[in-house]
Amino acid sequence: MLEHDRLIAAAPEQGEVRLDHAIRPKKLRDYIGQPRVREQLEIFIGAARLREESLDHTLVFGPPGLGKTTLANIIATEMGVGLKSTSGPVLERAGDLAAMLTNLEPGDVLFIDEIHRLSPVVEEILYPAMEDFQLDIMIGEGPAARSIKLDLPRFTLVGATTRAGLLTSPLRDRFGIVQRLEFYNLEELTEIVSRSARLLNVETNEEGAIEVARRSRGTPRIANRLLRRVRDYADIKGDGVVNAALADAALNMLNVDHHGLDHMDRRLLLAMIDKFDGGPVGVDSLSAAIGEERDTIEDVIEPYLIQQGLMMRTPRGRMVTRQAWLHFDRVPHEQSVDVEGERRP
């Protein structure tokens, strides 16, 4: 089972980019949630415009689907400049990045998604470009080789990553602005669902929007995806109006429960409960029990379950918490623990 096969996967699906662009906010005032990030960017952007300077290089990090690409677009729009977008894996050679840098206009925003995946050779090119707005190019080969410097227009690099810990210190230190995106709360997601419904001409009421938001795992991208699937269900099985009952029926049909768990999440938790008595159990044993790769368990399934307090990693292995037992209406094991790791009678 691959991550992109899951309805509640935070990674974008094929065909979603165009739809997401249609409902993506263009201005900071339209950006919902992340109040601390929004307030700081309003100040930094306003100050840069007042001084008629380019914005400092900006690093945005956090789990996938929370709006990092959206923020890069908003920064360019608010600054009134162009946006050039690429990603770390695409920039395979130093020449690829050099070509993009030399085509920038003064003040432009260069957005690099998955910046933690830049190759070391490409990253070396970025250092003088970010710090001195210069590009070092080697001319010739062998003993006759020499380095020349090309001046670049002042630009803003916006880097996005889901794994800030993988960034090298020299690269991370060159960002003047660093922003972390957090998961969204229910109220913010409900507002996002209602806004997207208006833009997509989906008739919904507040209870319907809340039901979709409740199962969206704190992630706007998932909320918008679930809204589109519920809209399909409403058009065929209902009268086109998304209310709480219809959203509940649609999402139950899609195997997304009230906590946003899907079949992969439930299969993992139930395997730990039924086959390993709640744990502790090693990840390799879990992998064999449910037929999933170790990396899939560690990178795809576990993070949300841990964040929701349904399971925990311990030195002895994985364990489900009391909350997981209760989620499946099971009587907690006498040795079960709560999310703080404390045993309860």
In angstroms, the Cα distances linking 101 to 59, 139, 152, 237 are 18, 18, 7, 52
Annotation marks residue 69 as catalytic: yes
DSSP letters along 203-266, please?
EE-HHHHHHHHHTSTT-HHHHHHHHHHHHHHHHHHSSSEE-HHHHHHHHHHTT--TTS--HHHH
Residue 9 has pLDDT above 80, yes or no: no
Contacts of 282 (CB under 8 A, 6+ apart): 317, 318
pLDDT band at 1 (very low <50, low <70, confident <90, very high): very low
**Is residue 332 within 8 Å of residue 344, measured between CB atoms?**
yes
pTM over 0.95: no
CB 121 within 8 A of CB 88: no
263-327 — its CATH code?
1.10.10.10
Q: Please list the residues that pair with 149 across neighbouring strands.
A: 136
- Crossing angle of helices 206-214 and 186-199, in 10° steps, is 120
Render pLDDT for 260-290 as a digit per residue (tens, 0 to 9).
888 888 899 999 998 888 889 998 998 898 8
Return residue ranges of the chain for CATH 1.10.8.60. 186-253
Q: Is 113 among the catalytic positions?
A: yes
Tell me, yes or no, if 277 is annotated catalytic.
no
Taking 50 as the threshold, does the pLDDT of residue 345 lie above it? Answer: no
Is-contact 226 258, C-beta < 8 A? no
**Lowest mean pLDDT: which of 8-17, 91-100, 177-186?**
8-17
CATH code of domain 186-253: 1.10.8.60
Give the residue range(s) of CATH 1.10.10.10 domains in the chain: 263-327
Of 6, 68, 217, 318, the catalytic one is 68
Read off the pLDDT band of 22 (50, 70, 90).
Answer: confident
68 is catalytic: yes
Choose, from 69, 190, 204, 219, the residue flagged as catalytic: 69
Q: Mean of the pLDDT values across residues 63-92?
A: 93
DSSP 321: B
User: Is 58 one of the catalytic residues?
Assistant: no
User: Is pLDDT of 198 > 70?
Assistant: yes
Which of 113, 248, 262, 265 is labelled catalytic? 113
Which residues belong to CATH 3.40.50.300 in the chain? 34-180
How is 251-310 classified by DSSP, letter by letter? HHHTT--TTS--HHHHHHHHHHHHHHTT--B-HHHHHHHHT--HHHIIIIIHHHHHHTTS
Exactly one of 70, 162, 219, 321 is catalytic; which is it? 162
The gap from C-alpha 276 to its chain's centroid, in whole angstroms, comes to 32
Phi, psi of 235 (to 5 degrees): -70, -35
Pick the CATH number of 34-180 from 3.40.50.300, 3.10.20.90, 3.40.50.1980, 3.40.50.1110: 3.40.50.300
The count of other CB atoms within 10 Å of the CB of residue 184 is 24
Instruction: Please tell me the distance from the alpha carbon of residue 195 to that of residue 26, in angstroms, as a whole number.
Output: 13
Catalytic residue among 6, 214, 215, 221: 221
Tens of pLDDT, residue by residue over 111-136, are: 999 999 999 989 998 999 999 999 88
pLDDT digits (tens, 9 = 90+) for 123-175: 998 999 999 999 887 776 667 677 778 889 999 999 999 888 889 999 999 99
* Highest mean pLDDT: which range of 9-13, 34-38, 306-310: 34-38
